[in-house]
Amino acid sequence: MKNPECRPPRRSGFDSPQLFYTGLLSTGVVIVLFTLLGAFWFERQSHVLRREGQQRAASLLAEGLAHAVENDLITRDFAALEARLIQTTSDEQVVSVLLADNQGQLLSHVRRRSAGEPAEPQFRPMSVSPPPRTPLFELEGEQLRLWIRVGSVMPMGWLRIELKATQSDAALRQLQHQLLMLSLVSGLVLITVLVLVLRKTHDLFQQREAGLLKTQQVLERVAYHDGLTRLPNRHLLMDRLRQSLASAQRHGHRLALCFIDLDGFKPVNDQHGHEAGDHLLIEIARLLSNGVRQVDTVARLGGDEFVLLLPDFDHVTQIEEILDRLLQAVSQPVAYGSERLQVGMSIGIALYPDHADSGEKLIERADQAMYLAKRSGKNRWMFHEDCASPALS
């Protein structure tokens, strides 16, 4: 039989562990995402600023140099032309400078092989492919290449200048990497702390739930079980009786309710005291519970009154066999210290649907039959039909 639940009060959303975990986790994820997005945004903006700075520097150098070499190109003074290119590469940021005519034939090329070394002219003959438009910026790794036209009045050739990143650019790039790493580490630390907080919070909620469950179980025992014998009390008995009657009506089964009153219990209390009486009641409750089927219910109404609820039986002889077995078990003496306590049972039986069709009437008819059993000699069972078992098949 299913016990009625002692339901705890409805909890608000703030008391729900699932909502709390979801809110805390969402907050942590949002913080981590904003931290990482901020780091990536800063890295992107720094990259743009660095490139714009390189382009401005390249444009200023290229425009000044293009204007300076115009006269050298007109006079075909290639020595002065090469000197101007070498002078331009004195800036550590400049990697190489190349000058070609309109057809792409190389006129002069000065290049620095490695940092710290002076730039040297390149004498290998070559031709270049001028860009389709000017100015044209090309990016290769950390180096920026700029193509620009030479000739303020008429095109005279092409100038190409290559610049590397400055120390400021390198420092900014390092700062970007450090900030990105700091953001990643901060995110990992935050996630770790968040996981630890969630675990601790989960443990606290588990402890709280265990406490609530224990409280609920205690309340259920108090509300639906007898404090001495731990048997179902009248409230739980009536609930199970209603369920059994509904099932019997639905499936066409029969049901027996047996009202029990102990014979000779008052003398035990008077002679040996209430502690002995309580000990005897606990032992009788154990004997009754062990002597019935798993689907049956043994309840204590109070004092020395018990009730057996025996649902779903095929023949009345099944009820008689159970009651004979219980009468024999309960009639045996019970040890209490050096004393032997002994009582009997008078049992009245009411059947559904033979004797009654409701729980209250079944209890009333079984109680009447119990008094008939007492007047007929005690320590016996009787049905609600003149102390004789009805002829049922």
**Active centre residues (catalytic):** 304
List of residues 6+ apart from 145 with CB closer than 8 A: 137, 138, 139, 160, 161, 162
Structure tokens of 97?
């400078």
What gap in Å lies between CA 364 and CA 357, rounded to an integer? 12
Q: How far is the CA of 240 from the CAs of 1, 20, 105, 125, 234, in angstroms?
A: 7, 39, 107, 108, 10
Handedness of CA 204, 209, 210, 216 (dihedral sign): positive
Q: What angle do CA 167, 172, 173 make, to 5 degrees?
A: 95
State the DSSP string of 270-289: HHH-HHHHHHHHHHHHHHHH
Q: Is the peptide bond before 353 cis (omega within 30 degrees of 0)?
A: yes
Exposed, middle or buried by CB within 10 Å (0-12, 13-18, 19+), for 378? middle
Give the orientation angle of helix 316-330 with respect to helix 274-290, to 10 degrees.
150
Between the CA atoms of 235, 241, 242 and 246, what dihedral angle is there, to the nearest 10 degrees? 160
Side chain identity, residue 270: D
Side chain identity, residue 187: G
List of residues 6+ apart from 71 with CB closer than 8 A: 77
Q: What is the largest CA-CA distance in the chain?
A: 148
The DSSP call for residue 15 is G
Side chain identity, residue 346: S
Structure tokens of 263?
């014979």
- Residue keyed to tokens 């444009």: 59
Q: Is the peptide bond before 118 cis (omega within 30 degrees of 0)?
A: no
Give me the helices (H) in 331-376, please: 359-375
To which H or E segment does residue 114 belong? none
